[in-house]
Every structure is written in C-alpha cells, then in structure tokens.
Amino acid sequence: MNHAVLLVAVCGALAVPLATAAASPPAPIACNTVGYLPGRPKQATLLGQVESFLIIRLRDGATVLAAKASRPLLNEDTGQTVSIADFSALTEPGQYALAADGTTRQVQFAIGEDVYVQPFQLVMRGMYLWRCGTAVTSLHQGDRFHHEPCHLDDALLEHVGGGRQRRVSVGGWHDAGDYNKYVVNAGATVGVMFRAWDDFKDPIQQVQLDLPESGGKLPEFLAELKWEMDWLLTMQVDDGSVWHKVSTVDFGPFIPPDKEREPRYFALWSSAATADLVAMTAMAARYFAPYEPEYADKCLRAAKRSHAFLSREPADRRPDLRAFKTGGYDSPDGDDRLWADAEMWETTGEREYLVAFERRLKSPDANGAARGLQAIATFDADWDWPNLKNLGLFTYLFSKRDGRDPALVTHLQDSLRATADGIVKTANRHGYGRTLGTRYYWGCNGSVARQTMVLQAAYRLTGDEAYRNAGLDAIHHLLGRNVFGRSYVTGLGDRPPLHPHDRRSGGDEVEAPWPGYLVGGPNPQASDWHDRQEDYRTNEIAINWNGALIYALAGYLED
C-alpha cells in the first residue's frame, strides 16, 4: 500500500542555518546546543585554559550566572587542554547563551522539560522518510523532502535458486546511505526500538509523529516498526530459513530512490539473519498483541517456524555474498541465537526456550573453548549489529517470569552494574563527556547512543541517578559537546551535518540534507570527521545508528 504524508515542519530549538561544510576546526565552546533538562547536570567544554564563563538569558540580555571554569585538564584523544564550564545550578526553563573568556563566540542552548520531544520527533520521522516501496513527503525548515514510490519490483530469486522469477519483498526501510535492505541490521534497529517501547512506552505515546497511520488502532511508534516488520516477514522461506538481504549487485549512484532501476536480488539465507528474525517476530508478537492480535499471532507463528529451523541447523551458516559488492553484515550467529531464545521464552513462557538460553550462556564457543559465565554472561559497554547479546541479556534479566537461574540472575546484575560503572567513569574522565571514551571507528556515534541502553538498565536495577546522568552525557556529546562543537544529526542543533553520505540528499534538488539522521562520526581518530558526502567512513547514515538515538532520546522525553 502506498502512502504519502505531509509532515509538519519542526521549529524552535531545532532551527539551524545552512552554511558551508568542510572539516571544522576545534570549537572554542562545545555544548549541547539543542538543550538541557532543568534538574540535570549541564556542562560545556571550553578549549584551552579558561578562567570563567557567563550564562546570558536571551529574552532580556541579563547575566544569570557568572562562574569559574574548572582547572585545565588534558583531553587524551585530542591532545587538547580544555576547561569545563558547569552550569548545573541553572534550572529555570528558557533560552540562553554561554560566553567564555578568550573568545567572542557565544553558543545558544535551551533549558526545558520537553527539550528532547522535538528531536525525538525529528529522528523518528527520519525512519519514516527511509520507507521503501511508498511515497514519502516531509517539510522541514521551509524545504520539502519527497520521493515517489520506489523499488516496487523487489526482488529477484536468481541468487537463491529461483532464476529470473520474482517474489514480492516490497517495503521496509532503506538501510543507510544506500537503498538496500538487510535483515541483520534490521535486527540491531528493531530490537533496540522495541526495547525503547518496552522501557518508555508511556512518554513515547504522548509524542505526535504525524505518520500516515496516525489515528489508527496502532500507536504511531509501533506503526513505524510494523512497516519494517511487514517487509521482514517476506524474507522468511517456507522451511523457516531467512534470506540475508535484498540488494542490488553493487552500490548505485546518488539519485532519488524512485529513479533507481537496477535489479535487486535476494541473498541466500544465513543463520544470523534467521535468528534475528526469530527475536524480532517474537518481540512483535508481544507488543502488537494488545492492538492487532491477529498480526501478533502471525509474527509468533513466523518466530516458531524459524526457531524450529535453527534447531535443525545448529551450525553457524554464514551468508553467501559472492554475487554482491554491497553491505555484508556477516558475523557469527551465537549472539543472535542467544537473543532469539530469550525473546521466545519471554513471549511464550515455554521452558524449552529458557533452558536453551541458559545452556547457551554456559556453553563452549564455536571453537570448543570453554568460556563459562565470566566470558559470555556479561554485558558489553560497546556493541552494535555484530554482537546483539545485550538484547537477550536485557530481556532475561528484567523478565517477570518465573524459572530463571538465581545464580545467573545475580551474576548478570553484578555485570550490568560493573559495565555501567565503567561507562560512567569513562564519561567523567573524558574532556567532552564522551561515554565511549577514546574508541573511534565506523559508526561509533551510534554506539555512543546505544550505551544509554546499558545505563538505563542499570538505573532501573539500582535507582542510581548517576547512570541517567551519564546517558545524558552521551546525548550532549552527539548534539554538540564534542571537539567540533557541532551537532552530529542532520537538521538539528548548531551547524549540523550538511553533506551526509546519503543518496537522497545527494540526488535531489534541495540544498539541505534530509533531516533527522545521525552520522557515523569520527573514524579512526577523534579529529577525523569530515562533513563531505564522499566520506562514507565518517559521514554516512544508517538505521541502526538512528534506532540507537531514538532509544537514547526516548529515555528523556520526561524526567
């Protein structure tokens, strides 16, 4: 079904000017230019040895805070001397500017209880604008972003043994800066977004997204996820295996998606994709049941079919991608199977899935080396699509079902606290409050956002506000408290990316990029981010990074 929708322009704190965009020099003042929650810590990073700073209220020009900056410290990954401006004492909602000794630059920001509502709307609308197989339309800051229905012939069976025949696989989200669709990366996105619904359903439901499904029986957030789930169900083969992706043979040119005419093909099944589909459909069965019980039953049947297939195929089956030059998303399947077992148990309550999950945590690895609890039954601080173990551990640890191994639960609680403590310490040591510290790689901004899942889980377990504050450190970093003093999200905050590696942004007639997308970030060093379309290493967009940012923002829709 094809939909077109007109989205309301986002204004106020999200308004940003267009400017030339190349590599930025280090910013003299780096802060979250979108804004801060009233009762939470507020810090900015000042370049060099700075004695003092001022906070100016914009509505009347009054200086509302004059304070000393911290003693200078060395930021390890940039080699800079920086000082910290702490203005946590300022709690009155409003619009402000920060000024510091030694620079004429002032940086504006907001304080408000709802400061993350519009960013959440914008990033969620980014998911809508990624829809494949339909027309999409959005207005943002006076620009109209639109494409007609695309990829309506998905997909050919040639590489899965079906010759030039087609099987319908229309819909879903374009994966990243390209227009292909990948099951494994869908797992890293859908799993995180379903977790956001589980953790923050009430505040999420209060946010109007203006989707085509608005006013229907599904909450809008779940309606967006259903668009992806509908496509994922087309990837399941009758025997329960799941094809790895739908893709062109090679990456296409920078043209709108409805202009892409290259044939698109299914890729052979992989056990990671199959396990991820099990997990996603099992979760969908839980979350859709109150609204569309028939659809929930359909998802559960799909989950059981693919889980049974995996039981018959215990080997790690990697995808055969020799015909393709597009994204691989190829990794071992142990984490995916673990996640699948956890979600099947949580959805059905059937003991066989619980036994399989707990056995897998205590089993040897694929090479036969015994690992035991200390090696595998631990939360990771830094994770993405190659290792989705955390998703399974979250589900198991916070389940209300009976029957869990008490020793394993205690071990996981200890691991969660220790992992979250490490993230907090890392952020506190870093000159820009970066929760990932000095690690930089392709897509690391997504990992910074995803760390909020560990921090929020630790907060639910302990009630320690330090974890929620560190989650805000991650958001502050992505929205401007970084070495560049720039937002990493298109259309949001001060001097956001203008030239992302995105075929829609590079292929349309609009000067501004499509809004609401987190770019990958510095790689391989802190200073190595360039706002250039061709720099896919640092400036591409991807659904898993947006999904992580959606979770991060959802956690602070209310405080």
Q: Annotated catalytic sites, by residue?
A: 178, 501, 531, 540
Output helix, strand, coil percentages for the chain, rounded to the nearest 5: 40, 15, 50
Asked whether the bond before 155 is cis by omega within 30 degrees of 0, the reply is yes
Q: Return phi, psi of residue 400, to 5°.
A: -95, 0
Angle between helices 389-397 and 334-348 (to 10 degrees): 30
Most distant pair of Cα atoms in the chain: their distance: 72
Q: Please give the angle made by the CA atoms of 208, 213 and 215, to the nearest 5 degrees.
A: 65
Residue environment code for 473-510, b if the CB has 16+ CB neighbours within 10 A, otherwise e: bbbbbbbbbbbbbbbbbbbbbbbbbbbbbbbbbbbbee
Amino acid at 433: G
Chain centroid to CA 353: 28
Nearest to 141 by CA among 541, 511, 517, 547: 511
DSSP state of 69: P
CA atoms of 10 and 18, how far apart (whole Å): 15
Q: With b meaning 16 or more CB within 10 Å and e meaning fewer, what string describes 221-231?
A: bbbbbbbbbeb
DSSP state string for 320-389: --TT--S------SHHHHHHHHHHHHHHH--HHHHHHHHHHHHS--TTS----HHHHSS--SS--TT--H
If we measure between CA atoms, which residue out of 503, 54, 79 comes closest to residue 255?
Answer: 503
Burial annotation 15-35 (CB, 10 A radius, 16+ → b, else e): ebeeeebeebebbbbbbbbbb
Contact by Cβ (8 Å): 77, 526: yes
The length of the chain in residues reads 559
**521 torsion bin: left (phi>0), alpha (psi -120 to 50), beta (else):** left
Contact in structure between 481 and 88 (CB atoms under 8 Å): no
**Cα–Cα separations (whole angstroms), residue 458 to 382, 414, 441, 455:** 15, 10, 26, 5
What residue has token string 């392709």? 442
Contact 280, 186 (CB under 8 A): yes
Distance (Å, rounded) from C-alpha 328 to C-alpha 10? 35
Assign 394 to helix, strand or coil.
helix
| Cβ pair 116, 132 in contact under 8 A | no
